[in-house]
Amino acid sequence: MNPKILIIGACGQIGTELTQKLRKLYGTENVIASDIRKLNTDVVNSGPFEVVNALDFNQIEHLVEVHQITDIYLMAALLSATAEKNPAFAWDLNMNSLFHVLNLAKAKKIKKIFWPSSIAVFGPTTPKENTPQYTVMEPSTVYGISKQAGERWCEYYHNIYGVDVRSIRYPGLISWSTPPGGGTTDYAVDIFYKAIADKKYECFLSSETKMPMMYMDDAIDATINIMKAPAEKIKIHSSYNLAAMSFTPTEIANEIKKHIPEFTITYEPDFRQKIADSWPASIDDSQAREDWEWKHTFDLESMTKDMIEHLS
């Protein structure tokens, strides 16, 4: 039996590609995309789409009943840099949307939840290199605070009510198919657009700011694979560390120059530098690799080549 899937926040950076991949996998009619507004995009036009406010429990419950949903992927969130500008709304959206789907699972109206966490759960006191699965977590951003609280609630609902909720801590995500969405790691997407269009880029982080990153193809695979894994393989019900590569703006710029020799980069760090400084430089994801056989495909070299081919 194919799952009946509802994706909340399907028009966002991850949701867009996740929707397409899930539709290929399970059939278009089994994957209901939803977002707060109906835009003229592939996600909206390529299959069932519903307008839904992630903060409205009744709307979500109605969709679950009408479409006989078994699995929810809750991708709606306010990201790091955007959340800093509107902390109260970020907390409201990031937390209450999660409670809505957790409570639907608690009431046995759905079987399974995917909820994304982030490296933003870590903070300035976390070990920077090879950040362990279990470590000090004192996030210093609104986004990070909401994700850390969300992890605790996911684990609580699993332990107390038996809710099957699965989560991964995404590093910075890089994609050619959707423009940057207001995250601190988004320079690594924007740099490609500017390299191709203008042959130059002004980076909002300093040259040696090293952060964990992942190509979107790998992130989508991880998301689908953790949901496909048998329940007994999922040992962590807060959120799994996930990693692929770590690099600095200098390193990605040098890789781009191999394809666009005239490309130049300058540095003008802004408020996002402080956010980046509070995050890890590299991640230990051995638990995900062990429990549900996670492995990445793309490194900096192969990702850069693929990005430039697609965007050109």
Given the residues 26, 73, 143, 170, the one annotated as active site: 143
* Residue 72, both tokens: 């929810």
Q: How far is the C-alpha of 305 from the C-alpha of 256, rounded, in Å? A: 8
Evaluated on CA atoms 129, 134, 136, 137, the torsion sign reads positive
Q: How far is the C-alpha of 93 from the C-alpha of 53, rounded, in Å? A: 10
Residues near 280 by Cβ (< 8 Å), separated by ≥ 6?
119, 122, 126, 127, 128, 129, 131, 211, 212
What's the residue count for the chain?
A: 312
* Active-site annotation holds for 161: no
Beta pairing class for 168-170 and 240-241: parallel
> Could you give phi then psi for residue 241, rounded to 5 degrees?
-60, 145
Catalogue the active-site residues. Answer: 143
